[in-house]
Structure 1
């Protein structure tokens, strides 16, 4: 018997991607009865679902961000590689490498296999399990950095640039704009790997999730709250803060701040300049152009569906490689983390 094509049973709806035979949504954009959540960023994890399935780490992150009870009336944790039968749909999770607990949602129904990757990256990250390719018939991918201009340098080299600047300007505070979930903790862990042993100072908005990471077994070393520190104590220090705070009045409390930003968008000099960024750090939690194409080849899928980002460029490049592409135009993606804000141009 011929396996049913995934587009006959995995549908795009106003609430998001819906698995009809399984009766559940994947990363729905509104409250639903049954949701499978790939990771904790707010454009994928929304409050108010009745039943939520995710990794234990994602469930903990959702509860920390939304408050107890808002991250699903009932929650079910699924370990990587553990399989579940949901109304005849075989479901399992594979690491996505994006942030702690982030997962690819793998589905198989009547011989057809789909992998919904969520957001993912291919570079090593001391705070998240590395991406694992899963062969499939349809691969659902993001396309945040799907333009040839986006080729990320080694993140270790960017951390080394930051530490060289700290050594060069010991009287100044280096304040690094970074998102509160994933990027902040990754930067802290990479700084520790690079030998930075001094306390890392945090904007108040970053404290809670760092504590959550530590409670989940991710060591980040000594952390301090920057808002209670004296300006004198912050000379030569590294401060991690939300991107919105680094050019704000908040940064004035720091000692002659060197404004940095850690994002894949820092590849675009105009963005760095517009944001008043003195030291742009190209450190991304998303796959770059080459990695998106390599991943599509690795999973051996004859068809790739693109959820958000630079769909046209990626679909064109995939077509040249004999892979059929389809834009899903899911609403509400890319609203947190490095995702492009609505209406912005990528380059």
Structure 2
């Protein structure tokens, strides 16, 4: 509980057209437009944008931003901060905690005059062999996403979904299984989980997925043998697993595959009608976001009397938090929640 003489976080953490602004520190968190000083939670495009003068993030996020945007566009000046390392900026104590979302993702933790706020970015609570797990940081104010903030969204253990994929591969050995997944985070997580499940054969990639897999390897995440799906013969892809952007799996690009079984790995695959409308034969409910139960549990565990919701199903989450005695507020930040995750559309292979 915040002492009586400490300032409320809303007096120093402001909502602006550019995003959340730490006024005494003089920096933005995941700004939606180019600013002088930005602290970036992770590398997805709705949180990490080009053109900032100074960027602070984890080493991994800075590398991912540079790989996606090119040299010089991911911050004129970059500063890496390790999770748990503390920095003081104009009297504001700043540190990062793992968010569990993708490699390098972090919660931005701030304390000013005894008042503590945590901006989670995007996060998940399930285990991920390619990302450090979420760490709870008690605070006076917690800023959360709400992508899957409805009771219908309860994600199954990801291992069971990987097992379903491998059973289908065994059942249809003459067909290619093409799995739609986002190029940053989801693709590498699927590869790592397949390796854990014993799949030691080459995994084939759409051209849009290759660069970030190389970045992950450079950052120490071992992915095993990967091959370009574009140059493979159709005969060689029988019984193979191919990873591609969701927009490519039902596109003409997939015609090069051997009688493809179309799968998509996404939290949205919990909505069967959505899967059916998209022509998905094998929906895999694997998400890099917290589900309904995880959102509620996290908001309780951080012990914050107040929670701000940045994007997603704000109303449902705020109502549920209110029943638990937690004050909720919808921020309606423009531009967040628009990452390509789950909805990326790529119709041509850049390597073709």
Fold match by TM threshold 0.5: yes
| Equivalent of 2:296 in 286, 293, 297 | 293
Deviations 1:112-157 (A, max 9, x none): 0000000000000000000000000000000000000000000000
Alignment of 1:52-201 (within 5 A): 52-201=55-204
* Cα distance between partner residues in 2 of 1:269 and 1:160: 19
Number of residues of Structure 1 aligned to a counterpart in Structure 2 = 341
Distance 1:78 1:325 in 2: 30
- In the TM superposition, residue 338 of structure 1 has moved relative to its aligned partner by 3.6
Find the counterpart in structure 2 of residue 281 from structure 1: 284
Query: Which of 28, 33, 51 is the matching residue for 1:30?
Result: 33
5+ residue gaps, structure 1 = 342-347
**Contact 1:264/1:338 (8 A) holds in 2:** no
Specify the alignment match of 1:265 in structure 2.
268
Q: 1:270 offset after TM fit, Å?
A: 1.0
Contact 2:144/2:307 (8 A) holds in 1: yes
Tell me by how many angstroms 1:291 deviates.
0.2
Report how far residue 335 of structure 1 moved.
1.5
| Pairs within 5 Å for 1:318-337 | 318-337=321-340
The verdict on how the C-alpha distance between 1:212 and 1:139 changes in structure 2, with shifts beyond 3 A counting, is same
Partner of residue 39 from structure 1, selected from 13, 17, 42: 42
**Which aligned pairs between 1:216-255 and structure 2 lie closer than 5 A?**
216-255=219-258
SS at match of 1:314: helix
Aligned counterparts of 1:268 and 1:327: Cα–Cα separation in 2: 25
- Does the 8 Å CA contact 2:181/2:342 hold for their aligned counterparts? no
- CA distance in 2 between counterparts of 1:78 and 1:254 reads 43
Does the aligned pair in 2 maintain the 1:304–1:325 contact within 8 Å? yes
Give the C-alpha shift of residue 201 in structure 1.
0.1
State the alpha-carbon separation in 2 of the partners of residues 168 and 250 from structure 1.
24
Find runs of 4+ consecutive structure 1 residues off by over 3 angstroms.
337-341
Q: Secondary structure at the match of 1:317?
A: helix
What is residue 23 of structure 2 aligned with on the other side? 20
Cα distance in structure 2, aligned partners of 1:162 and 1:175? 10
Unaligned runs of 5+ in 2: 345-352
SS in 1 for 2:243: strand
1:344 alignment counterpart: none
Instruction: Provide the secondary structure at the position in 1 that maps to 2:73.
Output: coil
1:325, 1:113 → 2: CA distance?
Answer: 17
> The residue matched to 1:81 in structure 2 has which SS?
coil
1:182-203 CA-partner distances (Å, limit 9, x unpaired): 0000000000000000000000
Question: What pairs with 1:301-316 in structure 2 (closer than 5 Å)?
Answer: 301-316=304-319
Q: State the superposition RMSD in angstroms.
A: 0.9
The answer (yes or no) to whether the contact 1:100–1:182 under 8 Å persists in 2 is yes
Q: Indicate if the aligned counterparts of 1:144 and 1:340 stay in contact, CA closer than 8 A.
A: no
TM-score by length of 1: 0.97
State which drifts further: 332-341 or 34-43. 332-341
The SS at the match of 2:230 is: helix
Please list the CA deviations of residues 252-276 of structure 1 after superposition, one character each: whole Å capped at 9, or x if unmatched: 1000000000000000011101110
Q: Give me the whole-angstrom Cα distance separating, in 2, the residues matched to 1:291 and 1:213.
A: 27
* 8 Å Cα contact 1:16/1:330 also seen in 2: yes
TM-score normalised by L of structure 2: 0.96
